[in-house]
Amino acid sequence: MAILKAEILTEVNQNLGRAETDIDVEIRDVLYDLSSRDNFLLNSSLAGVTTDSVAYISLPDDFKELKSIVLNDGSQDGDPLTKITWEEYLQNISGSPSDSEPEHYVIHNDLIWLEPNPDGEYTVKMYFWRYHTSAITTILFPEQFRKCINAGVTAAVAASFQLDDEAKWASKYEYQIRIRQSNLIKDPIINKYHDL
């Protein structure tokens, strides 16, 4: 079930005993804030198609953090590309770089740089966490975020009108965020063992 803007408005008015008709700014601010707090919104999309000997493609506008990137040569997805540093990229392309199927990538200046240079057209498929768009007609968060969004927008409206309830609702919003953060599946942290 999708979360609708009208439902948020109704809930906020009930929470604060008000009759507001336009809280779009507060909704937009909360959706962006929530998506910036953690990796809540995963997206898979086709980022584009490579061009022969052109080493980069642009990042999507709502890009936050890359999970993985794969190339498709027209028949099937390949293995995920390996992330390298900008310095490694520059070292790898120094001299006379050859064109072939890319194996590595680096993100630099809002571009994804592929190495080696593509030797043809590959479809680039990205799995990435993103920020919520500025459009609030379609709320990207799933139903599990309803309480969190309602609390956040209620706090934002209370702050806009300097109501006494602001601190209470801000506290509820932070609590709801912590609950959702604790439910995220995090990648394991690997520490190298050094035997002395």
Low-confidence ranges of the chain (pLDDT < 50): none
Residues 65-89: tens digit of each pLDDT: 999 999 876 666 788 999 999 999 9
pLDDT per position as a tens digit, 105-123 = 999 999 999 999 888 888 8
- DSSP sequence for 127-146: EEEEPPPS--SS--S-GGGH
* Predicted confidence (pLDDT) per residue in 42-53, tens digit: 998 777 788 887
pLDDT value of position 44: 81
d(CA 178, CA 128): 22
**Residue 116: is the preceding peptide bond cis (ω within 30°)?**
yes
Closest Cα to residue 41, out of 137, 179, 141, 139?
Answer: 141
pLDDT value at residue 18: 96
Domain boundaries, the chain: 5-39+133-182, 42-130
What the block records as the tokens of 82 is 């390996």
- What is the pLDDT, as a whole number, of residue 75? 65
